[in-house]
Structure 1
Amino acid sequence: MSRPAASPVDAVRVLAVSDETSDALLTDLDPVRSARLILACGDLPFDYLDALVNALEVPLVFVPGNHDPDLSGYRMSRAGLTLRAGLPARAPWPDGAVNADGRIIDVAGLRIGGLGGCLRYSDGPNQYSQRQQAGRALRLRAAARWRS
Protein backbone atom coordinates (compact mmCIF):
# COMPACT_ATOMS: atom_id res chain seq x y z
CA MET A 1 0.00 0.00 0.00
CA SER A 2 1.50 3.33 -0.99
CA ARG A 3 1.48 6.36 1.24
CA PRO A 4 -0.68 9.25 0.04
CA ALA A 5 1.08 12.40 -1.15
CA ALA A 6 1.95 14.87 1.60
CA SER A 7 -0.68 17.49 2.14
CA PRO A 8 0.28 21.12 2.83
CA VAL A 9 -0.31 20.37 6.51
CA ASP A 10 2.38 17.62 6.35
CA ALA A 11 4.88 19.84 4.52
CA VAL A 12 8.06 20.70 6.38
CA ARG A 13 8.47 24.45 6.73
CA VAL A 14 12.07 25.56 6.37
CA LEU A 15 13.49 28.91 7.39
CA ALA A 16 16.34 29.52 4.92
CA VAL A 17 18.74 32.30 5.92
CA SER A 18 21.88 33.61 4.29
CA ASP A 19 24.29 36.55 4.14
CA GLU A 20 22.41 39.22 6.11
CA THR A 21 21.21 39.24 9.70
CA SER A 22 17.74 40.54 10.45
CA ASP A 23 17.04 42.08 13.85
CA ALA A 24 13.38 42.27 12.82
CA LEU A 25 13.30 38.48 12.48
CA LEU A 26 14.65 37.99 16.00
CA THR A 27 12.26 40.62 17.37
CA ASP A 28 9.10 39.16 15.79
CA LEU A 29 9.28 35.40 15.22
CA ASP A 30 5.55 35.00 14.51
CA PRO A 31 5.97 34.83 10.69
CA VAL A 32 8.45 31.94 11.02
CA ARG A 33 7.14 30.22 14.16
CA SER A 34 5.92 27.24 12.09
CA ALA A 35 9.44 26.46 10.80
CA ARG A 36 10.63 22.96 11.65
CA LEU A 37 14.18 23.47 10.38
CA ILE A 38 16.63 26.34 9.93
CA LEU A 39 18.78 26.02 6.82
CA ALA A 40 21.70 28.47 6.89
CA CYS A 41 23.32 28.97 3.52
CA GLY A 42 26.47 30.75 4.67
CA ASP A 43 27.91 34.09 5.73
CA LEU A 44 25.97 34.57 8.95
CA PRO A 45 27.56 34.96 12.39
CA PHE A 46 27.25 31.82 14.49
CA ASP A 47 25.90 33.82 17.44
CA TYR A 48 23.02 35.02 15.23
CA LEU A 49 22.27 31.43 14.18
CA ASP A 50 22.45 30.37 17.83
CA ALA A 51 19.86 33.04 18.72
CA LEU A 52 17.53 31.73 15.98
CA VAL A 53 17.94 28.12 17.11
CA ASN A 54 17.26 29.01 20.74
CA ALA A 55 14.23 31.15 19.85
CA LEU A 56 12.61 28.60 17.52
CA GLU A 57 13.90 25.41 19.18
CA VAL A 58 14.36 23.60 15.86
CA PRO A 59 17.36 21.90 14.22
CA LEU A 60 19.95 23.95 12.32
CA VAL A 61 21.73 22.65 9.22
CA PHE A 62 24.32 24.93 7.65
CA VAL A 63 27.06 25.21 5.06
CA PRO A 64 29.92 27.69 5.36
CA GLY A 65 30.02 30.67 3.05
CA ASN A 66 33.02 32.47 1.64
CA HIS A 67 33.06 34.94 4.58
CA ASP A 68 32.84 32.23 7.26
CA PRO A 69 35.86 30.78 9.09
CA ASP A 70 37.62 27.66 7.87
CA LEU A 71 35.75 24.71 9.40
CA SER A 72 37.54 21.96 7.51
CA GLY A 73 39.42 20.59 10.53
CA TYR A 74 36.30 19.65 12.50
CA ARG A 75 34.57 16.28 12.36
CA MET A 76 32.17 14.22 14.43
CA SER A 77 33.35 11.05 16.13
CA ARG A 78 31.26 7.90 16.18
CA ALA A 79 30.45 8.71 19.79
CA GLY A 80 29.06 12.12 18.79
CA LEU A 81 32.01 14.20 19.99
CA THR A 82 33.31 17.07 17.90
CA LEU A 83 36.98 16.51 17.11
CA ARG A 84 39.69 18.71 15.67
CA ALA A 85 43.08 17.16 14.87
CA GLY A 86 41.76 14.00 16.54
CA LEU A 87 41.16 15.70 19.90
CA PRO A 88 37.83 16.72 21.45
CA ALA A 89 37.14 20.37 20.66
CA ARG A 90 34.31 22.84 20.95
CA ALA A 91 33.03 23.65 17.49
CA PRO A 92 32.51 27.35 16.69
CA TRP A 93 28.96 26.75 15.44
CA PRO A 94 25.89 26.53 17.72
CA ASP A 95 25.47 23.42 19.85
CA GLY A 96 23.48 20.76 18.02
CA ALA A 97 23.93 22.38 14.60
CA VAL A 98 25.03 20.17 11.71
CA ASN A 99 27.62 21.24 9.16
CA ALA A 100 26.31 19.71 5.93
CA ASP A 101 29.19 20.86 3.72
CA GLY A 102 30.03 17.96 1.42
CA ARG A 103 27.58 15.68 3.21
CA ILE A 104 24.08 14.26 2.90
CA ILE A 105 21.98 14.95 6.00
CA ASP A 106 18.57 13.51 6.95
CA VAL A 107 16.70 15.93 9.20
CA ALA A 108 13.07 16.92 9.82
CA GLY A 109 11.90 14.40 7.24
CA LEU A 110 14.10 15.88 4.51
CA ARG A 111 17.31 14.72 2.84
CA ILE A 112 19.66 17.65 2.32
CA GLY A 113 22.89 17.76 0.34
CA GLY A 114 25.25 20.53 1.42
CA LEU A 115 27.80 22.24 -0.78
CA GLY A 116 29.16 25.43 0.73
CA GLY A 117 31.65 28.02 -0.37
CA CYS A 118 32.04 29.90 -3.62
CA LEU A 119 34.34 30.27 -6.60
CA ARG A 120 37.86 31.28 -5.62
CA TYR A 121 38.51 35.00 -5.79
CA SER A 122 41.16 35.33 -3.02
CA ASP A 123 43.16 33.16 -0.63
CA GLY A 124 40.34 33.03 1.95
CA PRO A 125 38.70 29.86 3.28
CA ASN A 126 35.69 28.13 1.69
CA GLN A 127 36.67 29.16 -1.84
CA TYR A 128 37.20 26.66 -4.62
CA SER A 129 38.31 26.57 -8.23
CA GLN A 130 35.82 25.36 -10.83
CA ARG A 131 37.61 22.00 -10.86
CA GLN A 132 37.60 21.68 -7.06
CA GLN A 133 33.91 22.54 -6.77
CA ALA A 134 33.03 20.14 -9.59
CA GLY A 135 34.89 17.37 -7.73
CA ARG A 136 33.10 18.22 -4.50
CA ALA A 137 29.75 18.13 -6.32
CA LEU A 138 30.55 14.72 -7.86
CA ARG A 139 31.46 13.28 -4.44
CA LEU A 140 28.23 14.67 -2.99
CA ARG A 141 26.23 13.15 -5.84
CA ALA A 142 27.89 9.78 -5.25
CA ALA A 143 27.07 10.00 -1.54
CA ALA A 144 23.44 10.79 -2.37
CA ARG A 145 23.20 7.79 -4.69
CA TRP A 146 24.82 5.52 -2.10
CA ARG A 147 22.27 6.58 0.53
CA SER A 148 19.18 6.19 -1.65
Structure 2
Amino acid sequence: MKILLISDEESKYMWDFFVPENFKDIDIIISCGDLKAEYLSFLVTMIKAPLFYIRGNHDNNYKNNPPEGCECIDGKIINYNGIRIMGLGGSMKYRETTLVYTEKEMRKRINKLKFGLFFNRGVDIIVSHAAPKGINDENDLCHEGFKCFLELIQKYSPKYFCHGHIHLNYGNKKRIANYKNTMVINAFDHYIFEY
Protein backbone atom coordinates (compact mmCIF):
# COMPACT_ATOMS: atom_id res chain seq x y z
CA MET A 1 0.00 0.00 0.00
CA LYS A 2 1.43 3.37 -1.04
CA ILE A 3 0.82 6.22 1.41
CA LEU A 4 1.14 9.95 0.71
CA LEU A 5 1.90 12.02 3.82
CA ILE A 6 1.33 15.78 3.78
CA SER A 7 1.82 18.50 6.39
CA ASP A 8 2.44 22.17 7.18
CA GLU A 9 3.09 23.59 3.73
CA GLU A 10 1.06 23.22 0.56
CA SER A 11 3.38 21.56 -1.94
CA LYS A 12 3.75 23.48 -5.21
CA TYR A 13 4.48 20.11 -6.82
CA MET A 14 0.91 19.03 -6.04
CA TRP A 15 -1.00 22.32 -5.62
CA ASP A 16 0.33 24.44 -8.50
CA PHE A 17 1.74 21.84 -10.87
CA PHE A 18 -0.43 18.78 -10.27
CA VAL A 19 0.17 15.89 -12.68
CA PRO A 20 -2.37 13.05 -12.11
CA GLU A 21 0.02 10.43 -13.50
CA ASN A 22 2.49 11.09 -10.65
CA PHE A 23 -0.07 9.97 -8.04
CA LYS A 24 -2.01 7.19 -9.80
CA ASP A 25 -0.68 4.50 -7.44
CA ILE A 26 -1.41 6.31 -4.15
CA ASP A 27 -3.73 4.21 -1.98
CA ILE A 28 -4.21 6.56 0.97
CA ILE A 29 -3.43 10.19 1.87
CA ILE A 30 -2.69 11.18 5.47
CA SER A 31 -2.48 14.81 6.60
CA CYS A 32 -0.46 15.58 9.72
CA GLY A 33 -1.97 19.05 10.06
CA ASP A 34 -1.58 22.78 9.38
CA LEU A 35 -2.81 22.74 5.80
CA LYS A 36 -5.62 24.67 4.10
CA ALA A 37 -8.93 22.80 4.00
CA GLU A 38 -9.18 23.62 0.29
CA TYR A 39 -5.84 21.92 -0.34
CA LEU A 40 -7.01 18.70 1.32
CA SER A 41 -10.30 18.80 -0.62
CA PHE A 42 -8.35 19.37 -3.86
CA LEU A 43 -6.03 16.40 -3.21
CA VAL A 44 -8.82 13.96 -2.30
CA THR A 45 -10.64 14.95 -5.49
CA MET A 46 -7.63 14.73 -7.79
CA ILE A 47 -5.88 11.65 -6.38
CA LYS A 48 -8.95 9.42 -5.90
CA ALA A 49 -7.73 7.96 -2.62
CA PRO A 50 -9.22 8.41 0.86
CA LEU A 51 -7.74 11.25 2.88
CA PHE A 52 -7.51 11.00 6.67
CA TYR A 53 -6.41 14.01 8.70
CA ILE A 54 -5.67 15.30 12.17
CA ARG A 55 -5.61 18.97 13.09
CA GLY A 56 -2.43 20.94 13.63
CA ASN A 57 -2.08 23.85 16.03
CA HIS A 58 -3.15 26.29 13.26
CA ASP A 59 -6.24 24.39 12.04
CA ASN A 60 -8.91 26.26 14.03
CA ASN A 61 -10.72 27.11 10.79
CA TYR A 62 -11.55 23.41 10.21
CA LYS A 63 -14.35 23.79 12.74
CA ASN A 64 -16.36 26.06 10.43
CA ASN A 65 -14.76 25.00 7.14
CA PRO A 66 -13.75 21.31 7.31
CA PRO A 67 -11.98 19.72 4.34
CA GLU A 68 -14.65 18.28 2.05
CA GLY A 69 -14.50 14.57 1.21
CA CYS A 70 -11.93 13.90 3.95
CA GLU A 71 -12.20 12.07 7.29
CA CYS A 72 -10.97 13.50 10.59
CA ILE A 73 -9.25 10.83 12.71
CA ASP A 74 -8.18 13.21 15.50
CA GLY A 75 -8.73 11.41 18.81
CA LYS A 76 -9.73 8.16 17.07
CA ILE A 77 -8.44 4.79 15.97
CA ILE A 78 -9.61 3.58 12.56
CA ASN A 79 -9.01 0.39 10.64
CA TYR A 80 -8.40 0.91 6.94
CA ASN A 81 -7.87 -2.28 4.89
CA GLY A 82 -6.39 -4.01 7.94
CA ILE A 83 -4.10 -1.11 8.90
CA ARG A 84 -4.81 0.31 12.34
CA ILE A 85 -4.34 4.10 12.35
CA MET A 86 -4.47 6.36 15.41
CA GLY A 87 -4.81 10.16 15.21
CA LEU A 88 -3.60 12.71 17.79
CA GLY A 89 -3.63 16.31 16.60
CA GLY A 90 -2.35 19.51 18.19
CA SER A 91 0.98 20.60 19.59
CA MET A 92 2.61 21.42 22.92
CA LYS A 93 0.78 24.20 24.79
CA TYR A 94 2.73 27.39 24.24
CA ARG A 95 -0.11 29.90 24.67
CA GLU A 96 -3.81 30.01 25.55
CA THR A 97 -5.55 28.82 22.40
CA THR A 98 -7.21 25.70 21.04
CA LEU A 99 -5.43 22.66 19.58
CA VAL A 100 -2.52 22.93 22.02
CA TYR A 101 -2.03 20.60 24.98
CA THR A 102 0.12 20.21 28.04
CA GLU A 103 1.92 16.90 28.48
CA LYS A 104 -0.76 15.92 31.02
CA GLU A 105 -3.61 16.82 28.62
CA MET A 106 -2.09 14.83 25.76
CA ARG A 107 -1.58 11.84 28.06
CA LYS A 108 -5.28 12.11 28.98
CA ARG A 109 -6.22 12.06 25.27
CA ILE A 110 -4.16 8.89 24.82
CA ASN A 111 -5.79 7.29 27.87
CA LYS A 112 -9.22 7.84 26.29
CA LEU A 113 -8.07 5.61 23.42
CA LYS A 114 -6.79 2.74 25.60
CA PHE A 115 -9.88 0.60 25.05
CA GLY A 116 -9.55 1.07 21.30
CA LEU A 117 -5.86 0.15 21.50
CA PHE A 118 -6.76 -2.98 23.47
CA PHE A 119 -9.68 -3.88 21.19
CA ASN A 120 -7.56 -3.41 18.04
CA ARG A 121 -4.55 -5.17 19.61
CA GLY A 122 -2.38 -2.08 19.20
CA VAL A 123 -1.81 0.22 16.27
CA ASP A 124 0.23 0.19 13.05
CA ILE A 125 0.47 3.91 12.28
CA ILE A 126 0.27 6.83 14.70
CA VAL A 127 -0.54 10.17 13.06
CA SER A 128 0.19 13.30 15.06
CA HIS A 129 1.03 16.92 14.47
CA ALA A 130 3.73 17.18 17.13
CA ALA A 131 6.80 14.98 17.20
CA PRO A 132 7.80 12.62 20.01
CA LYS A 133 10.06 14.24 22.65
CA GLY A 134 13.68 14.22 21.50
CA ILE A 135 12.94 12.88 18.00
CA ASN A 136 12.72 15.44 15.18
CA ASP A 137 11.49 18.10 17.64
CA GLU A 138 12.87 21.51 18.67
CA ASN A 139 13.91 22.99 22.01
CA ASP A 140 11.38 25.84 22.07
CA LEU A 141 8.08 25.12 23.85
CA CYS A 142 5.97 25.52 20.70
CA HIS A 143 7.91 22.84 18.81
CA GLU A 144 8.80 20.56 21.71
CA GLY A 145 7.63 16.95 21.35
CA PHE A 146 5.57 14.91 23.80
CA LYS A 147 7.12 12.37 26.21
CA CYS A 148 3.85 10.41 26.22
CA PHE A 149 4.37 9.75 22.48
CA LEU A 150 7.63 7.96 23.34
CA GLU A 151 5.75 5.85 25.89
CA LEU A 152 3.08 5.08 23.28
CA ILE A 153 5.75 3.90 20.85
CA GLN A 154 7.47 1.81 23.54
CA LYS A 155 4.24 0.11 24.58
CA TYR A 156 2.57 -0.55 21.20
CA SER A 157 5.53 -0.60 18.81
CA PRO A 158 3.75 0.83 15.75
CA LYS A 159 5.50 0.39 12.40
CA TYR A 160 5.27 4.13 11.73
CA PHE A 161 4.86 7.35 13.68
CA CYS A 162 4.02 10.18 11.26
CA HIS A 163 4.13 13.81 12.37
CA GLY A 164 4.28 17.35 11.04
CA HIS A 165 4.92 20.67 12.80
CA ILE A 166 8.72 20.65 12.35
CA HIS A 167 9.46 22.30 9.02
CA LEU A 168 12.43 20.72 7.32
CA ASN A 169 13.54 24.19 6.20
CA TYR A 170 14.08 25.13 9.90
CA GLY A 171 17.66 23.91 9.54
CA ASN A 172 19.52 20.65 10.07
CA LYS A 173 16.43 18.44 10.37
CA LYS A 174 15.96 14.84 9.31
CA ARG A 175 12.96 13.43 7.44
CA ILE A 176 13.26 9.97 9.01
CA ALA A 177 14.44 8.72 12.39
CA ASN A 178 14.14 5.34 14.06
CA TYR A 179 13.08 4.76 17.65
CA LYS A 180 12.96 1.18 18.90
CA ASN A 181 11.10 -0.71 16.11
CA THR A 182 9.26 2.37 14.85
CA MET A 183 10.12 4.56 11.89
CA VAL A 184 9.38 8.20 12.76
CA ILE A 185 8.57 10.22 9.62
CA ASN A 186 8.37 13.99 9.36
CA ALA A 187 5.59 14.61 6.81
CA PHE A 188 6.56 18.24 6.08
CA ASP A 189 5.38 19.30 2.60
CA HIS A 190 4.90 15.73 1.32
CA TYR A 191 6.46 12.31 1.55
CA ILE A 192 5.48 9.01 -0.09
CA PHE A 193 6.24 5.63 1.44
CA GLU A 194 5.22 2.02 0.94
CA TYR A 195 3.47 0.28 3.84
Q: Same fold (TM over 0.5)?
A: yes
Q: How does the TM-score come out when normalised to structure 2?
A: 0.56
**Structure with larger RCO (C-alpha < 8 A, sep 6+):** 2
Query: In structure 2, what is the Cα distance between the partners aligned to 1:15 and 1:112?
Result: 14
Q: Which residue of 2 aligns with 1:7?
A: none
Map 1:7-86 → 2, pairs under 5 A: 12-26=1-15, 27-69=18-60
2:25 is matched by which residue type in structure 1? S
Asked if the contact 1:68–1:125 (Cα under 8 Å) also holds between the matched residues in 2, the reply is: no
State, as a whole percentage, how many aligned pairs show the same letter. Answer: 31
Which protein has the larger Cα radius of gyration, Structure 1 or Structure 2?
Answer: 1
> Judging changes above 3 Å, is the alpha-carbon distance between structure 1 residues 68 and 16 closer, same or farther for their aligned structure 2 residues?
same
2:34 is matched by which residue type in structure 1? D
Asked if the contact 2:37–2:68 (Cα under 8 Å) also holds between the matched residues in 1, the reply is: no
Structure 2: tracts of 5 or more residues without a match: 122-195
Give, in angstroms, the shift of residue 70 of structure 1. Answer: 6.5
Q: How does the TM-score come out when normalised to structure 1?
A: 0.72
After the TM superposition, list the runs of 4 or more consecutive aligned residues in structure 1 that deviate by more than 4 angstroms.
none
Query: In structure 2, what is the Cα distance between the partners aligned to 1:32 and 1:122?
Result: 38
> Judging changes above 3 Å, is the alpha-carbon distance between structure 1 residues 92 and 106 closer, same or farther for their aligned structure 2 residues?
farther
Query: In structure 1, what is the Cα distance between the partners aligned to 2:11 and 2:19?
Result: 10
Give the SS at the match of 1:48: helix
Give the SS at the match of 1:61: strand
Query: In structure 2, what is the Cα distance between the partners aligned to 1:138 and 1:101?
Result: 14
Q: Deviations over 1:87-146 (max 9, x none)?
A: xxxx62233311111100122442100001011011221100110001112222332212
Query: In structure 2, what is the Cα distance between the partners aligned to 1:35 and 1:55?
Result: 11
Give the SS at the match of 1:34: coil
Q: Is 1:135–2:108 an aligned residue pair?
A: yes
Kindly indicate which of the two structures has a greater share of residues assigned to strand.
2
